[in-house]
Structure 1
Amino acid sequence: MKNFPNAFVIILYFILFAWILTFIIPKGNYQRELNTETNRTTVIANSYEQMDAPHLSVFQVLLAIPKGIADRADLIVLILILGGCFYLIEKTGALNQGLNQLITVLKGKELLALIIICILFLFGGFAIAIQEEIIAMTPVLLLFGRTLGYNPSAMIYSSFGSAVVGSAFSPFNPFGVIIAQKEAEIELLSGSEFRLIVFLIASIVWIIYIVKYVSKNRADKSVANIEAEKLSIRSKSILTLLAITFGIVTYGLIQLSWGFNEMSACFFALALVSGSIAGFSFNKTTEVYIDGFKEMIFACIIIGLANCISLVLKEGLIVDSIIHALFAPLKNVPSNISAVLMMISHSILHFPIPSYSGQAILTMPILTPLSDLIGLSRQVTVLAYQYGAIMMDAVIPTNGALMAIIALGGIKYNQWISFIIKPTLLMLCIAAVAILVAVQIGYN
């Protein structure tokens, strides 16, 4: 379909659709209370009630666009700084030299290279739920893929897709399973052994699917910029600093509770030091850095616009109504069926709530007493959430990172969906089987 809308237009359509839903779905909300110890607002179970409120005006919907972009300011800053940093390092020649060395080493071993990429991003999702950070890496990954004979879909599938699978099945995802376990009032990181087994199974199946895909969809190798050139001392220094920076950032995320701003500071410093090592003047370094910002502007706007969809639903007072409609009927079915339906409900709910950490905070206080009522363990309730919600990050157009990455890869959303829907359903089937097994073995 040659005239399928681009990412910008698709998100505008979804903002319009979200506004229409605010006229169709009854308004309502759950009561909330502030926990003074954690300074976190929690939802009170069984407190949902419908309410009368005026509909959003056209101007309020338009106002949601700049508000949605502003709400993602810290992430947009990270993407600009990280993207500019990678762009500057590429202009120093260090990335090209590094890629040349990799290609020389992996010549005739292209499949091994792709499997290594999958494993790296699987563990990136597994450990720190890497996702938005991949946006700035995408141009480099696409270049690497072209030199190995892999099309953009294969590279995004093996990087971003693998990161989503790693995040969805991880026992340690700090923004998913840990938050959900805390909200469900169960011991943090408990039940990790079972989750780890399912993660390994899902990862193996995911990699096998990728291998089968690329064996049928190879692209012509690019020979541009590929020369038998050894790494210079400057390039080795820059790439070493890049590796060290990633190590520092990973440590900060895991041990120091860092956020996007701390990451941005690290990569900003890396860019300036890399320009100096490359022999650029300070003026040239900043000019190249600014050019890198320009390359990432479209991705940043897509991130902000995607946030507008959930903002319209929230200000239209229908998010709680959607939650109530999806989960209230579960108490009327057997616990094993209820667990699988809970996962499906989380998948649907992730469309209007693209933040899966936010989804955990919204739903766990509601689902925890419900699971106790129907005899479903809280661990299984958390499983249903993490599998159903996080896996949908590979599909939903409200996920700004996804829309930005496929836009950079020149892939239209309909093309991506036709490509990703089968493996996503396969992962959800594995998740459903895992949930049924968990119910049978009394996983708690």
Structure 2
Amino acid sequence: MKLSFPHPLIILLVFIILAALATLIVPSGSYDRVLDEETGREIVVPGSYQLTEDKNASIFDTGLAIPEGIILGADILVLILLIGGAFYVIEKTGALQVGMEALVYRFRNTQYLLLVILSLFFFLGGASFGMQEEIIAMGPILVLLAKKINYDVRATVALSLGSALAGASFSPINPFGSLLAQKIAEVDFAEGLFYRLIFTALVFVIWTGFHVRWGKSKLIQLDKVDFKPAKISGTHAIILTLTLAGMILMPWGIIQQEWGYNEMSALFFVIGLSCGLIGKMGLNGTARAFSQGFSEMIFAGVLVGLARSVYLILEKSQIIDTLIQAMFQPLEALPTTLATIGIFFSQGIIHGVVPSTSGQAVLTIPLASPLVDLMGISRQIAVLTYQYPAGLMDLIIPNNGGMMAVIAAAGIAYNDWIRYIWKSWLLLLGIGLISSILALLWFA
């Protein structure tokens, strides 16, 4: 009998159990922390690590972490539900179908250009404000687009979610990644900006080109696709305009108004309700569509919560600092290039334990900065060797709830996602490593 690959829920439960078992093996310890007035965050004090009383996670603690993780992710869960519900309402009005058909017809002879524009949109979203969870509700749209142009749905996810994560990883302006790390490391933002932008552009071209080229579905189409012009009615035009306005307002609110998940949730709830009424679905029809959207998205939201449960167990047991101390301390004695490579891969491993890029920056940059000082190299190396691997790991680690939720919403199994993405992921990882090593010469 052929064994099936584990369900995403089972994968995350296994990670929760592994995290609990790790607390029985790894001793508890912690660094002292102080408030950084410039960033408003607590950062660790280098050299302050000390062992503490072991706080092993019991069976009860492990079970309790599951609902606690979901509760901690309540703001993201609400965002997923409300945006998902809103898009479901918009889909029920028929505007989404008509708009997609019109878009495909417009690019019927230049589908590659459509995919490049799609990738650029999400790449810039990731680069500017770390877009990820916002893509979850777009899963059905990506599936629809893939079917319309006969592309592998995994390719459309790679050109949306993947582009956003690649953009966030290599961006010099991501406030939750590079900018935060540079502030903590006390380095000038303008220093090496041109160098960073070169690799940002290179990554966009390579990533987009790879998936546009290899994403074309290999399935044989029995019937030739006949592209027909789609007529967009006045009602559909208003609904699509409102939807587009919401997608433009969201990054503006995040960047300019410091919006959080609640503001984004409220925005799309209003847009969804308005579109339902404009689409003549009525109050009851709109409400029913919202509830159907909730049911479609609830699983994706739970995955995000379970991913937080893994981190919660490790944090409460105080073994995260111990793991980081064990990884960074041996690097002090290595030659500069080897130490740079060591920091790079250590940061990648650490992100599997701390799946928050901003949280990882606060935790590791205060330790990596004095480490590179001892090696006599620029602190920009500490930033780059954190930024690249941390962002790229989000593409593959199961305890990144955002990624797991997006592929679940698109109907993609985790093993199928990894089978498709691993070559291009290794390619970007290699570019990040090369950039980190060449930076030793650039910032010398």
Fold-level match, TM-score > 0.5? Answer: yes
- Report the secondary structure of 1:265's partner residue: helix
Write out aligned runs for 1:22-421 (5 A). Answer: 22-35=23-36, 39-188=40-189, 190-215=191-216, 217=218, 220=221, 228-421=229-422
CA offsets per residue over residues 198-242 of structure 1, 9 Å max, x none? Answer: 011111111222133224735649999986430010111111111
- Report the secondary structure of 2:43's partner residue: strand
Say if 2:182 and 2:383, in contact at 8 Å, map to a contact too: yes
Say if 1:96 and 1:225, in contact at 8 Å, map to a contact too: no
Deviation of 1:190 (Å) = 4.3
d(CA) in 2 for partners of 1:305 and 1:315? 15
**RMSD of the alignment, in Å?**
2.0
Deviation of 1:271 (Å) = 1.0
d(CA) in 1 for partners of 2:235 and 2:306? 40
d(CA) in 2 for partners of 1:221 and 1:110? 20
d(CA) in 2 for partners of 1:406 and 1:311? 23
d(CA) in 2 for partners of 1:77 and 1:211? 33
Superposition TM-score, scaled by structure 1 size = 0.95
CA offsets per residue over residues 358-386 of structure 1, 9 Å max, x none? Answer: 00011111111121111121111101110
CA offsets per residue over residues 256-313 of structure 1, 9 Å max, x none? Answer: 2111111111111111111121122222212211111111011001110111111111
- Report the secondary structure of 1:41's partner residue: strand
Deviation of 1:428 (Å) = 1.1
One-letter code aligned to 2:370: P
d(CA) in 2 for partners of 1:222 and 1:318? 58
Say if 1:148 and 1:221, in contact at 8 Å, map to a contact too: no
One-letter code aligned to 1:186: V
Say if 1:171 and 1:189, in contact at 8 Å, map to a contact too: no
d(CA) in 1 for partners of 2:347 and 2:354? 10
Q: Tell me, which stretches of 5 or more residues in structure 2 are unaligned? A: none
Once the two structures are overlaid, the 10-residue window that deviates more, 152-161 or 85-94, is 152-161
Report the CA distance shift for 1:428/1:278 in structure 2 as closer, same or farther (over 3 A).
same
Report the CA distance shift for 1:225/1:306 in structure 2 as closer, same or farther (over 3 A).
farther
One-letter code aligned to 1:32: R
One-letter code aligned to 1:124: G
CA offsets per residue over residues 313-342 of structure 1, 9 Å max, x none? Answer: 111211001111111112111223222221
d(CA) in 2 for partners of 1:309 and 1:225? 48
- Report the secondary structure of 2:35's partner residue: strand
Say if 2:165 and 2:394, in contact at 8 Å, map to a contact too: yes
One-letter code aligned to 1:429: G
Say if 1:30 and 1:43, in contact at 8 Å, map to a contact too: yes
Say if 2:105 and 2:227, in contact at 8 Å, map to a contact too: no
CA offsets per residue over residues 140-192 of structure 1, 9 Å max, x none? Answer: 11111111001221111111111111110111111111111111122346432
Once the two structures are overlaid, the 10-residue window that deviates more, 53-62 or 217-226, is 217-226
